[in-house]
A and B are shown apart, each in its own frame.
Chain A
Amino acid sequence: MEVPILKQGEILIATVQAALTDSDLLQLRRALVEKVAQARARGIIIDVTAMDVMDSFASRTMREMAHMIRLRGAETVIVGIQPDVAFAMVQLGLSMVGVMTALDLEEGLEYLHRSLRGDPSR
């Protein structure tokens, strides 16, 4: 299932609607990393509220995605991780080192707006 990517100013929002297969994840990564330059985006939000499982492949792909996007000149925030999913992830040692996380879409947008405003050189 393809993940829709919406453009909102200089922010791209990818909202995961349902559980993702491995190939869906790779497709999302390809699409986002591609679109960063196309849309001249400076912030990316990946909303995973609908995901009730985050396995090692998913979290590694998310982490790599965030790092790749950073190299392409934008910042990534992952929002909406469910409490159970969060705890399961750290128990499995799948912490998203170096990736910003926020409670929900609203928080993520607020963070990005602040971060993009506070650093006009980028």
Chain B
Amino acid sequence: MAQRPMPLDRAPATHQLAPIRSQTGPTAELLHELVAHLRQHRTQLREEWAQNITEARLLTAMTKDEIFAEATSVYDNYVEALATGTFEALQTYSRNLSERIIPRGVETNEVVGIVLLLRDVLARSLFAKYRADFAKLDRILDAYEPAANRIANTVAVGFVQERERVIRQQQEAIRELSTPVLQVRERLLILPIIGAIDPQRARQLTEQLLRGIRTNRAKVVVIDITGVAAIDVSVANHLVQTVEASRLLGATVIVTGLSPEIAQTLVNIGVDLGKMNTVGDLQGGIEQAERLLGYKVVPLVEAN
């Protein structure tokens, strides 16, 4: 089975499963027999499984050929995991599989569903084979079931982890987009903040603002928080600290658009109003910033 190499940026699997080979001799022998059976009937069982997937209306986002191709590789990896008793390869495979099918809109229940279907298809074939010898069937199932459950677990966990990774990545992207530091005039920056501010975002805002002051050589910064409904005490303190730090870099900060709730919070933490320059709205803030920078904006008609 060809394994795709693991991408380097991927975090190592957070939980390592111990190999089930540590089980006693007879179990290993039974598993061996089991694997031989599954390998022998590969074509037929695989087809039966693919059939079941279609009937259960799983993986509807994929074509029949794609389902069959994926089913083949999942089957082989499944049997491989049973044969070797190690799950690392399966973990890697399930992560690669998830990476391919998540963008197609495949849901968690579908992935879990198909693996459970495979487990059932294989169990059925074992029933059929050992129908005559009930004691042996019992022992075979004793060996098969824990391993099969573990495989289902591994695949499901791999899928969920991959999805969480994608979600985290997207969150990061959104966060980066959500804190723009914009230059509106020479030496004048505005920082419009929209939405809830948690401590992490507050830290990021500060970092970007201080870096922006340095790279744009800003003298005045207008932080507009019209789009922020409320902030908690720690974020309020952080805001005050950001204003202070900007001053240490030689920039004046004007905060605009404070909601009544935010004003209340700032008064509650006892903010020094001598340090905090606030203006009602963004327009007023920019006007004051222009005055500080020595700009005067006049309408063209009046200028004539």
Chain A residues close to B by CB (< 8 Å): 79, 81, 83-84, 86-87, 89-91, 95-96, 101-104, 107-108
Contact = CB atoms under 8 A, between A and B. Distances in A.
A79 B249 CA distance: 8
A62 to B, nearest CB: 11
- Please give me the 9 A-B residue pairs with the lowest Cβ-Cβ distance, nearest first: A83-B210, A102-B250, A86-B248, A86-B245, A90-B244, A103-B250, A90-B241, A87-B245, A81-B248
Interface residues on B, range: 10 to 19
Nearest to B248: A86
A108 B250 CA distance: 9
Given A83-B210, A103-B213, A96 B248 contact: yes
B217 A103 contact: yes
Chain B interface main SS type: helix
Interface in B214-242: 214, 217, 241-242
22 contacts: A79-B250, A81-B248, A81-B249, A83-B210, A83-B213, A83-B214, A83-B249, A86-B246, A86-B248, A87-B210, A87-B245, A90-B242, A95-B244, A96-B248, A101-B249, A101-B250, A103-B214, A103-B249, A103-B251, A104-B217, A107-B217, A108-B250
Nearest to B215: A83
A121 B241 CA distance: 36
- Chain A CB within 10 A, most for which of B206, B217, B245, B251: B245
- Chain B CB within 10 A, most for which of A91, A95, A104: A95
A90 B206 CA distance: 12
Given A90-B242, A101-B248, A107-B217, 12 more contacts: A81-B248, A81-B249, A83-B207, A86-B245, A86-B246, A86-B249, A87-B207, A87-B241, A89-B248, A95-B244, A103-B250, A107-B250
A17 to B, nearest CB: 20
